[in-house]
Amino acid sequence: MTRFSYELKVPRERIAVLIGKNGEVKRQLEELTRSTIRVDSEEGDVFVEGDDALSLYTTREIIQAVSRGFNPEVATLLLKQDYALEILSIADFAKTKNHLVRIKGRIIGSEGKARRAIEALTDAHISVYGKTVAIIGETEAALYAKRAIEMLLSGSPHTNVYKMLEKRRKEMKLKWMLPRDDGKGDEEP
């Protein structure tokens, strides 16, 4: 049987979160994904092995999510088939260190209001950690949250970003409310 593996770098301050109290988080993740996780706490290296390539890829995504600031409970949402992780580099948009701090603040907003507003309008989870913004959500929600954050990083006013998300939210509600033409008529199954 073929063994697959990944090697990841995790910030030292996030290693304890990945391992959990008495190794609980690591053990639960190994059980959920049928993988083996070895952690070098000194260097921040994490080695993941398993027989199932898809499950191992998901394990890698969960570890990346934890390393980007998500708590393990939110990160394990990635086990759901229709959930995705998006990671944006704030440094790609910043010209200087001061600019990086300023645009990071735009994403978070006063007392976290901007981040919470985007989360509420997209039903996605957002973590601003270091020089990155990470998003976890259903695939479409994660993409809209990513688009909103890219708009903020590029300098768009918050109101324009919120209007775009509100319009998208209304479109999605309409989409779910409209009857689907599946060729079966209006009869109940």
* CATH 3.30.1370.10, the chain: domain bounds: 4-79, 83-177
Measured torsion, CA atoms of residues 96, 98, 99, 103, in degrees rounded to the nearest 10: 140
pLDDT digits (tens, 9 = 90+) for 125-175: 999 999 999 999 999 999 999 999 999 999 999 999 999 999 988 887 777
113 vs 80: CA distance, rounded Å: 28
State whether CATH 3.30.1370.10 applies to domain 83-177.
yes
User: What residues pair up with 134 in beta bridges, in sequence order?
Assistant: 87, 127
Local confidence band at 188 (pLDDT 50, 70, 90 cut-offs): very low
Report yes or no: 152 and 171 within 8 Å, Cβ to Cβ. Answer: no
Q: Which amino acid is at 83?
A: Y
The angle, 0 to 180 degrees and rounded to 10, between the axes of the packed helices 53-67 and 24-33 is: 150
pLDDT tens across 63-91, in order? 999 999 999 999 999 999 999 999 999 99
Position 189 scores a pLDDT of 40
Q: Does the pLDDT of residue 7 top 80, yes or no?
A: yes
* Greatest Cα pair distance in the chain: 63
From the options 3.30.420.10, 3.40.50.300, 3.30.1370.10, 3.30.450.40, give the CATH code of 4-79. 3.30.1370.10
End-to-end Cα spacing for the chain: 44
What is residue 59's predicted lDDT score, i.e. its pLDDT?
95
What is the pTM for the complete model shown?
Answer: 0.86
